[in-house]
Structure formats: structure tokens, C-alpha cells
Amino acid sequence: MRTYTVIDSPVGELTAVAEDGALAGLYFEGHLRRPPVETFGEREDQGFAAVRQQLEQYFAGARREFELPLAPVGNDFQRRVWDLLLTLPYGGTTSYGELARRLGDPALAQAVGAANALNPVSVVVPCHRVLAADGSLRGYAGGLERKRFLLELEESAEEKAARLF
């Protein structure tokens, strides 16, 4: 059974969608690839305590990894990319090309980018940690302002200080 709730966050409202108790979607307001709300099931604000708590901890800087059951829907390649995203360390970044190399084929960079763009569990599956080959911010379904916010949230104190000079 699918259910959903809406959670306030520093990046705006997030819509969390669960499938039989596992997180299947986490969408920003104005999310480019957000499915229609009719596909989310019934609104159920009570069943999302762990999601709500872990997001609050993450945005407060007290959580670096999520410990939630996940159920994103995608094809085999997309799920391989999303699984790889889950290995990216808090505060770290990588490129689409590097993820393609880690999947065994550097020519897959564009396909990795496409799978990244379709990640249905934003923030928890950290697609915001993927940058263009030149280190620039490119394409984020929640908007580049949110991507920048999430990357800055995860920066270490040393990185923040270095950015000032």
C-alpha cells in the first residue's frame, strides 16, 4: 500500500512516499520529475516518524547517513546507479564520468546522468553529490539552489573557511 506525507525542511516542503513501509519517493516542491500526487496513495502523517526524524537530524548536521528501508522504482541500470550513489560519503562529491567508470564503462556518463535525474528518493539517495566533470553544478530535479544548499550543508568547517578566502 502506498502512502505519503509532507515534511517541512530548510529546502521547502518535501513529499515522502512510502510503499509498504519503505521509502519509495522523496520529492521537493516543484520537483522536475515528481509523479502526480494521485499516484502517492493516501495521505498518512503518522507512519513517517523515522523519515521525519532522520531528515531533521540531517538538516541539523547531526546525521551523515540515513538508515531507512528504501523501495525506489526503476530499471536495473537505474537501481545500480542509485545503489552506487548510496556509497558516496557525506561531504564528498564525484562526477557522472567517475560513476560510469565505477560501473565498468566510462561511456555510460550520460546514462548515469539520466538515471541520476530520475532518482525518486532525493536527499536520502544523495544524487546532489554528483557534479559535472569540471566540478560545476549541473542538473538537479530540485533546482540548483537546493543542490548548492545541500552541498554547503555537508561541507566541513575547513572547507567552509577555505571558501571565504
Structure confidence at residue 165 as a pLDDT band (50, 70, 90): low
Q: What is the pTM of this model?
A: 0.92
**Angle made by CA atoms 155, 120, 94, in degrees to the nearest 5:** 35
55 has a pLDDT exceeding 90: yes
- State the Cα–Cα distance between residues 27 and 38, nearest whole angstrom: 14
CA distances from residue 86 to 7, 16, 47, 122 in whole angstroms, order as listed: 22, 18, 24, 11
> What's the rounded mean pLDDT across residues 129-154?
92
Active site residue 135: no
Spell out the CATH class of 2-59.
Answer: alpha beta
Sequence-distant (6+) residues with CB within 8 A of 23 are: 16, 17, 51, 68, 69, 70, 71, 121, 124
- State the Cα–Cα distance between residues 2 and 25, nearest whole angstrom: 10
> What's the rounded mean pLDDT across residues 43-54?
94
- Domain coordinates of the chain in residue numbers? 2-59, 76-163
User: CB of 102 within 8 A of CB of 84?
Assistant: yes
pLDDT at 116: 94
pLDDT at 141: 86
118 has a pLDDT exceeding 60: yes
**Catalytic one of 99, 118, 127, 151:** 127
What's the CATH code, domain 76-163? 1.10.10.10
- State the Cα–Cα distance between residues 165 and 162, nearest whole angstrom: 6
- State the Cα–Cα distance between residues 151 and 22, nearest whole angstrom: 26
39 has a pLDDT exceeding 90: yes
Q: List pLDDT tens digits, range 147-159.
A: 999 999 999 767 6
| Percentage, residues of the chain above pLDDT 70 | 95
Length of the chain: 165
